[in-house]
Structure 1
């Protein structure tokens, strides 16, 4: 990132772990605003990176479903409109909430 044209501040960072039975994460993040903030997820384990588009474990290695609102980020293992039989993400990742300004 080129910080000559903008600045950024890490508002929150932590582990997002769907390897167990966690149904979702609701993160209260003061100062988070979708207009000038982003939430990033970066896998921390090699086994969580999908090897090919046709990988049979694709859903288990997929990125979680994220929704944002003022002061809050919700991270779910799958799209809430997906069927009950759809498998969800099983990854362990690092999450970051970042505010930026120009």
Structure 2
């Protein structure tokens, strides 16, 4: 019998996650665009719970991928700062504890909120 899906193993080689043993649902998706003047996003996501949900950001433009650690534009290509709470995700251009002179992210990315259950 053929198996299909995703399997993730931990550093000890033990199975840590198997799509045959849990289900997931995309409960929100949208564009996170920091290429302009938008300082932050506060996204209301009904059903989002940090205990059984994740929020991930995937770049959509090649120019937003840092070429190396020596890339001088590293901060502008960094991923935005994300905080989650029940029903809400907040995405900021930079860490709130960063100095005023710190360059914020300028990436354009796709954001996904995913709920999973075992």
TM-score (norm 2): 0.85
The match for 1:35 is: 51
| Number of residue-to-residue matches in the alignment | 102
Once the two structures are superposed, residues 54-87 of structure 1 have per-residue CA deviations (whole angstroms, 9 ceiling, x without a partner) of 1100000000000000000000010001000000
Please report the RMSD computed on the Cα atoms of aligned residues, expressed in angstroms.
0.6
The match for 2:116 is: 100
The match for 2:30 is: 14
Q: Which has the larger radius of gyration?
A: 2
Q: Say which structure, 1 or 2, has more relative contact order (CA 8 Å, 6+ apart).
A: 1
User: 2: distance between equivalents of 1:72 and 1:53?
Assistant: 32
TM-score (norm 1): 0.98
Structure 2 unaligned segments of length 5 or more: list them: 1-5, 7-17
